Structure 1
Amino acid sequence: MQHPFQTPAIKAAFAAFAPPHRAALLTLRDLIFDTAAPLPIGQITESLKWGQPSYTTNTATPIRLGVTKTNDIAILTHCQSTVMSDFRALAPPDMRFDGNRALHLDPTDTIPLNDITPLIRAALTYRL
């Protein structure tokens, strides 16, 4: 389900991504909102951080979406949180990570939504 953009700046940021990146990042954006819906975390705030779409609540460590220098898409969390390292310990072995800060995905592959949902949930509920 496509969720409405909260600001024109967010809409413009997604419009600026190349088509394959945009489609994959919009899928991840929907996953964030869909994962958040049943959780007791309040409303998600969507903003731009370092020019990238960012998602947070009072209970979350921020989640950012972006494109890497190698043209992968990335889900980024705060590197000083344990979210990414905890997820990496449980993730399928073929997933690619950038330290404790990012999960890299090929925008032309099918996004493994079921595999990524625990990462999103953990970031959204990090402060609970």
Structure 2
Amino acid sequence: MTTNIRITFANYPQQAQQQLEQVRELILAIAAEHTLGGVEETLKWGEASYSIKGGSPIRIDWKAKQAGAIKVFFHCQTQLVATFREIYPDAFIYEGNRAVVIPLDADIEQTPLKHCLLLALQYQSLKHLPLLGA
């Protein structure tokens, strides 16, 4: 984890930090498990951002205005969130075409987030497929 991201997360409530770190670890594990290449971890617009070659960037953050949840952001000009909404209509709270909202008390392992992150990390090779090949 970069120093900037560590500092950013440290300013959040403990439960938010834990959820964000769990999503981060999931992104890194998915990339390793599917041999997708190195994950670039940066801070963009004050949010932790993760990207790999051939994928679509993923950002994660907690916002004080919605203190009871974290958000996982996806590029708004992709079909990612629309696809997630189609195949997992009740799994998340969706924010437009750019984010899924995950309550702080949610068990991330019990959501389809892993599949959603995999689709984002493989986006360039899936974008031509109906429902991203899901």
Q: TM-score, normalised by structure 2?
A: 0.85
Q: In structure 2, give the amino acid aligned to 1:122.
A: L
Q: 2:94 aligns with which of 92, 97, 112?
A: 97
Q: Secondary structure at the match of 2:4?
A: helix
Deviation at 1:45, TM superposition (A): 0.2
Q: Secondary structure at the match of 1:32?
A: helix
> C-alpha separation between the residues in 1 aligned to 2:118 and 2:74?
12
Residues 62, 113 of structure 1: alpha-carbon distance in 2 compared, 3 angstrom cutoff? farther
Q: What is the aligned partner in structure 2 of residue 66 from structure 1? A: 61
- On the 8 A contact 1:31/1:113 being kept in 2, the answer is no
Q: Unaligned regions of 5+ residues in structure 2, if any?
A: 126-134
Q: What is the aligned partner in structure 2 of residue 110 from structure 1? A: 107
Deviation at 1:111, TM superposition (A): 2.1
Q: What is the aligned partner in structure 1 of residue 34 from structure 2? A: 39
- On the 8 A contact 1:87/1:118 being kept in 2, the answer is no
Q: What is the aligned partner in structure 1 of residue 7 from structure 2? A: 12
Aligned length, in residue pairs = 123
Identity of aligned residues (%): 30
> C-alpha separation between the residues in 2 aligned to 1:94 and 1:86?
12
> C-alpha separation between the residues in 2 aligned to 1:113 and 1:94?
10
Deviation at 1:108, TM superposition (A): 2.0
Q: TM-score, normalised by structure 1?
A: 0.88
- 1:65-84 deviation line (CA, Å, top 9, x unaligned): 01132222011001101111
Deviation at 1:38, TM superposition (A): 2.2
Q: Secondary structure at the match of 2:124?
A: coil
Q: Secondary structure at the match of 2:55?
A: coil
Q: In structure 2, give the amino acid aligned to 1:105.
A: I
